[in-house]
């Protein structure tokens, strides 16, 4: 791996950690657990298109672990890990089809993140009732995914000539 | 963004909204609330009787008044459960993820099952 690439991936982790922190400072938009914009996903969608699936997966998982150690609890880290893993798998598969634009990949990432977290919550709390939040989370996840996708697409367009 | 992107995103939204409407429209006025901590039922309160109950050793405070239940206080920093507001219809739930606590409304028929 070239030094430049190592440095760039480090920067991506740092940036996504900052975005996680910024997002944690935003007051909850709705009183439903899990409703959020998912700012770090801007970095993930960008990396998926600009660098590659493997690097995106590494950066995403490292971000969740680091943010969990710094600002979270072991429990919140588990929620984030399942959400991030499911979201990553979905985005990588959808991108591989080469049929869809970044915005759709981002929407899939957003809702899969929410589905992963709800499923974990059902398992942790041993209550299926939490699935009651799923419809709201699917709608909010789609809207968040569109916003993140638009942002990532703009960044991709502007950094089109960037080489690693 | 192509046509199939719009179709996929729109169909996800349609499914989500349909799901949301089904859940909203099938709700009925509940008879009581059941409190679960870590998946285990710890308490049951009737919605027809007003009162203030500390839950889970005082980590969350449950208030029932005018046939509706809400959490008035919690020991977690974000207090999402307090902001979730008042619930009174079957299936509605207040969740406190940090304390692994849920408060769920059950209907008249279900409470018979729980008592018997």
Q: Look up the CATH number of the domain holding residue A140.
A: 1.10.1760.20
Total domains, chain A? 1
Q: What is the CATH topology of the domain spanning B29-115?
A: mini-chromosome maintenance (MCM) complex, domain 2 (2.60.320)
pLDDT at B115: 46
Alpha carbon dihedral A147, A149, A155, A159, in 10-degree steps, equals -170
In this predicted model, what pLDDT tens digit does every residue of A73-92 receive, in sequence order? 888 899 899 999 999 999 99
**Which has the closest alpha carbon to A112: A155, A82, A75?**
A82
Is the CB of B38 less than 8 angstroms away from the CB of A125? yes
Give CA–CA dist A92/A116, Å, rounded: 16
Let me know the angle formed at the C-alpha of A87 by A83 and A93, rounded to the nearest 5 degrees.
Answer: 155
In this predicted model, what pLDDT tens digit does every residue of A24-76 receive, in sequence order? 888 777 767 778 889 999 999 999 999 999 999 999 999 999 999 998 888 88
pLDDT at B110 over 60: no
Measured between alpha carbons, how far apart are the two ends of chain A, in Å? Answer: 10
* Percent of all residues in chain A with a pLDDT value above 90, rounded to a whole number: 62
Q: Is residue A77 part of a domain?
A: yes
Q: Given pLDDT bands bounded at 50, 70 and 90, which one contains residue A148?
A: very high
Check: CB of residue B98 under 8 Å from CB of residue B79: no
What residue numbers bound the domain in which A66 lies? 3-158
Would you say how long chain A is, in residues?
164
Three-state DSSP class for residue B100:
coil
Is the CB of B4 less than 8 angstroms away from the CB of A138? no
Q: Is residue A164 part of a domain?
A: no
> What is the 8-class DSSP label of residue B29?
B
Count CB neighbours of B98 within 10 A.
18
Give CA–CA dist B44/B36, Å, rounded: 9
Q: Is residue A163 part of a domain?
A: no
A100: left (phi over 0), alpha (psi -120 to 50) or beta: beta
pLDDT at B116: 38
Let me know the angle formed at the C-alpha of A20 by B93 and A53, rounded to the nearest 5 degrees.
Answer: 105
Nearest to A129 among B4, B20, B104 (CB): B104
Question: Does any CB of chain B come closer than 8 Å to the CB of residue A105?
Answer: no
ipTM above 0.85 for this complex: no
Q: Given pLDDT bands bounded at 50, 70 and 90, which one contains residue A16?
A: very high
What does the domain layout of chain B look like in residue ranges? 29-115
pLDDT at B20: 84
Question: Does any CB of chain A come closer than 8 Å to the CB of residue B84?
Answer: yes
């Amino acid at each position: 791996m070239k030094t430049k690439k190592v440095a760039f991936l480090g920067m991506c982790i740092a940036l996504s950690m900052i975005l996680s922190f910024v997002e944690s400072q935003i007051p909850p938009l709705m009183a439903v657990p899990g409703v959020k914009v998912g700012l770090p996903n801007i970095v993930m969608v960008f990396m998926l298109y600009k660098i590659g699936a493997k690097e995106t997966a590494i950066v995403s998982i490292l971000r969740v672990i680091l943010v969990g150690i710094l600002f979270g609890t072991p429990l919140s880290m588990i929620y984030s890990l399942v959400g991030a893993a499911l979201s990553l798998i979905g985005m990588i598969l959808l991108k591989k089809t080469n049929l869809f634009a970044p915005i759709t990949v981002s929407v899939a990432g957003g809702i899969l993140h929410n589905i992963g977290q709800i499923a974990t919550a059902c398992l942790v709390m041993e209550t299926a009732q939490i699935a009651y939040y799923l419809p709201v989370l699917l709608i909010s996840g789609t809207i968040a995914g569109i916003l993140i996708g638009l942002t990532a697409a703009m960044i991709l367009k502007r950094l089109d000539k960037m080489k690693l | 963004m192509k046509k199939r992107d719009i179709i996929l995103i729109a169909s996800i939204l349609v499914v989500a909204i349909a799901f949301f409407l089904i859940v909203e429209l099938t709700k009925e006025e509940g008879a009581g609330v059941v409190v679960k901590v870590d998946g285990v039922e710890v308490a049951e309160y009737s919605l027809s009787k007003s009162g203030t109950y500390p839950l889970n050793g005082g980590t969350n405070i449950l208030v029932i008044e005018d046939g509706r239940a809400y959490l008035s206080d919690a020991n977690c920093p974000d207090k999402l459960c307090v902001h979730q507001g008042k619930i009174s219809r079957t299936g509605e739930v207040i969740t406190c993820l940090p304390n692994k606590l849920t408060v769920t409304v059950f209907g008249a028929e279900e409470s018979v099952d729980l008592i018997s």
